[in-house]
């Protein structure tokens, strides 16, 4: 995982023609490698969670809220609950687009981030999920009210049509 900004594809990129649940989510591309497989020969379920964490951090960094910013602000977000729906298996060589967006933010303690993974070859959604994030104090680890900077985590626009 890196705190380096992730450049999003330009407007003409074919990724935007994929059947996303929302308009223009934040995306990262992953190619399934041998190291991602389990004994059944498909992607290990824990890999999906790692990719979801990485894309969430990518969007956070894109919004100017990297771990260094969390330290300056004195607040950060930690996962309270993950819900993942595995819709289709993926295999070595599959090129996946991992997407995220903020679905809800109560501007107090919690926000709900959603995810979608699409296999590029057949444009099939292979996973949908969500994580409830809780704002915590960086020193005590206890829940705290979101600072004004966390308004950057605003809900994503709904898909038109």
pLDDT of residue 43: 98
Rg (CA), the chain: 16
pLDDT of residue 79: 97
pLDDT of residue 27: 97
pLDDT of residue 3: 44
Distance CA 111, CA 109 (A): 7
pLDDT of residue 159: 73
- The verdict on pTM exceeding 0.75 is yes
What homologous superfamily is domain 20-152 in, according to CATH?
A: Hotdog Thioesterase (3.10.129.10)
Average pLDDT per consecutive 10 residues, the chain (161 residues; last block may be shorter): 62 92 95 98 97 96 94 97 98 98 96 98 99 98 96 83 59
Distance CA 160, CA 121 (A): 25
Q: Where are the domains of the chain?
A: 20-152
Give all strands (DSSP E) within the chain, no chain letters.
26-31, 75-86, 95-105, 110-119, 124-137
pLDDT of residue 156: 83
pLDDT of residue 161: 59
Comparing CA positions, the residue from 160, 138, 158 lying closest to residue 149 is: 138
């Amino acid at each position: 995982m890196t705190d380096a900004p992730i450049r999003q594809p330009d407007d003409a990129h074919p990724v935007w023609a994929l059947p996303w649940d929302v308009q223009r989510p934040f995306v990262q591309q992953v190619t399934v490698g041998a190291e991602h497989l389990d004994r059944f020969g498909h992607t290990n379920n824990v890999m999906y969670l790692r990719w979801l964490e990485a894309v969430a951090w990518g969007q956070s960094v894109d919004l100017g809220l990297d771990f260094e910013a969390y330290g300056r602000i004195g607040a950060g977000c930690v996962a309270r609950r993950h819900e993942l729906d595995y819709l289709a298996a993926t295999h070595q060589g599959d090129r996946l687009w991992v997407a995220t967006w903020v679905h809800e933010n109560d501007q107090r303690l919690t926000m709900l981030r959603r995810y979608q993974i699409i296999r590029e070859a057949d444009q099939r959604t292979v996973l949908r999920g969500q994580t409830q994030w809780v704002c915590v104090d960086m020193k005590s680890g206890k829940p705290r009210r979101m600072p004004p900077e966390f308004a950057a985590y605003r809900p994503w626009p709904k898909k038109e049509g």
